[in-house]
Amino acid sequence: MLHMACLANIWLIPVENTQFVSSRGNEYFCEIDEDYLTDRFNLTGLNTEVPYYQYALDLVTDVFDLDADDDLREQIEKSARHLYGLVHARYIVTTRGLAKMYKKCDFGKCPRVLCDGHPLLPMGQADLPNSSTVKLYCPKCEDIYNPKSSRHASIDGAYFGTSFHSILFQVYPALNPEKSMRRFEPRIYGFKVHAAAALARWQDAHREDMTWRLSDFGIDHKFIEEESESESEEAYEYGEEVSTAKAEKIAGDVASGRMDLGN
């Protein structure tokens, strides 16, 4: 069984596909349970999607037994990778798959400064393969980013799908970060740039309006800054203007306190 050993070294998947998941470039994937892979119901429709389907499935489930030449073997390996990815997209929205991805939770950090390195989640912009590559979603700024590494940048987004991250937050709501009002304010020599400042005012007005409308329906949504305003210690971490104002006030209090002491 020399050829099997070779195949396994190249990429796959003897029992529980650990080798694939642990090899370079495949860090975003989790291990699919063997019983999930071997249940034909979970693979419905994939036979038309993947060339050399049966061989690819045999390879993924470690029962491959064909003395193929190099070209054919390469084709089958490519198909097996594709098959694994497509099953992966289905698996990660199951209870066990969500739990595995939740535990894994190491997909990089948001590059946006104001997100303070919030953890990212892999996602696809389409559920059909060969539409776009995998992107990373930041739940704090609710935006998506390209992976830093070129190894990850070529992975098909359909291997994660468009719904995974949203379902994860439905199942684990505590993972969803509190929303923040912080934003970058462009300035020229300290003065706010007019157009950006006007847009920010417009957004603030709409946010306030929406907060009132939501409260009419009994939905009380707070931003992280509003919660921390009542706790003066935490206000330092968020909202520059609030913390600056408070810092000045506290500095003033300290100064007047000193003066009082002096008297």
Binding residues (CB under 5 A) for Zn ion: these are: 110, 112, 115, 138, 140-141
Strands (E), the chain: 121-123, 135-138, 143-145, 187-188, 191-192
Report in angstroms how near the CB of residue 56 gets to Zn ion at its nearest.
37
- Looking at beta carbons only, is 106 or 248 nearer to Zn ion? 106
The per-residue DSSP string of 103-147 comes to HH--S-B---GGGTTPBPEEE-S-SSTTS-B-EEEETTTTEEE--
Measured distance CA(132)–CA(145) in Å, rounded: 13
Measured distance CA(171)–CA(175) in Å, rounded: 9
Q: Which residue in the block uniquely carries the two structure tokens 């987004």?
A: 157
Picking from 6, 16, 18, 20, the residue whose alpha carbon sits closest to that of residue 37 is 16
- Looking at beta carbons only, is 13 or 138 nearer to Zn ion? 138
In terms of Cβ atoms closer than 10 Å to its own Cβ (0-12, 13-18, 19+), residue 82 is: buried
Report in angstroms how near the CB of residue 240 gets to Zn ion at its nearest.
18
- Looking at beta carbons only, is 35 or 142 nearer to Zn ion? 142
- Looking at beta carbons only, is 7 or 115 nearer to Zn ion? 115
Percent helix, strand and coil across the chain, each to the nearest 5: 55, 5, 40
Report in angstroms how near the CB of residue 184 gets to Zn ion at its nearest.
12
- Looking at beta carbons only, is 32 or 138 nearer to Zn ion? 138
Report in angstroms how near the CB of residue 73 gets to Zn ion at its nearest.
42
Q: How far is CA 116 from CA 129, 196, 226, 235, in A?
A: 33, 22, 18, 16
Report in angstroms how near the CB of residue 140 gets to Zn ion at its nearest.
5
- Looking at beta carbons only, is 102 or 145 nearer to Zn ion? 145
- Looking at beta carbons only, is 53 or 238 nearer to Zn ion? 238
Measured distance CA(102)–CA(172) in Å, rounded: 9
Picking from 150, 159, 151, 164, the residue whose alpha carbon sits closest to that of residue 131 is 159
Report in angstroms how near the CB of residue 118 gets to Zn ion at its nearest.
5
112, 101 Cβ separation under 8 angstroms: no
Report in angstroms how near the CB of residue 113 gets to Zn ion at its nearest.
9
